[in-house]
Amino acid sequence: MIKGKKAKKKNKEPIVICICGLAGSGKSTLAKKLAEKYGIKYCSGGNALKALAIEENYKPLKRGWWESKEGMRFLEKRGKDPKFDEAVDRKFLELAKEGNVILDSWTMPWLLKEGFKVWLEASPEKRAERIANRDRISFEEALKALRNKEKRTKAIYKKLYGFSLGEDFAPFHLILDTDNLKAEEVLQVLCEVIGNVVVNSDSSKLFNRV
């Protein structure tokens, strides 16, 4: 497999990869590992939004923030005022122009013309199971929080940008079902695809497909 430094020499254009998927699909874990493997930046839309929330005096939590009462309160505020999402998206578009970055984002696949875009698919039950284990809550609590959060998040993006998160897959180059795959197996599959399709390709053609 080609390493990050060699990848930069091979590509005419800097690498831009968007990893997307609903909560519990494994997108953040995967995006971090890919960024480490290829020696490029990792940027999380969720972390950027949470940082803005903390600046607005929302309480930080170590785990499960978006499914908590604080996270839900901030979701409600975002639904009324788009400035938070717009600020993060402007920043991410700038980062994409710089290149050599993995964007863990729910909006970039639709807002960016460039980049290799991956959607990680997983059933609500599997995602709730993963979040329950991660946040040490019951499966029922996790599933309820997921449904509430996703309903509000989808409404925000539909109103702001017009796309249907989790329903519109037109921007994506690769859709991967992670229900029956372990994190290391998902990483292995994506490294094979990225190594063959992105790193070894004429990226100037690939990244302008969408």
Q: N- to C-terminal Cα distance for the chain? A: 27
Which residue, 116, 117, 143, 121, is CA-closest to 132? 143
CATH number of 13-206: 3.40.50.300
> How far is Cα of residue 152 from the mean position of the Cα atoms in its chain?
17
Would you kindly state where each structural domain of the chain is located, as residue ranges?
13-206
Q: Going residue by residue through the chain, which has 210 residues, state the pLDDT in tens, using 9 for 90 and above.
A: 233 334 344 445 789 999 999 999 999 999 999 999 999 999 999 999 999 999 999 998 878 899 889 999 999 999 999 999 999 999 999 999 999 999 999 999 999 999 999 999 999 999 999 999 999 999 999 999 999 999 999 999 999 999 999 999 999 999 999 999 999 999 999 999 998 888 765 444 444 333
Give the SS3 label for residue 177.
Answer: strand
pTM attached to this predicted model: 0.86
Q: Could you give the CA distance from residue 165 to residue 157 in angstroms, rounded to a whole number?
A: 7
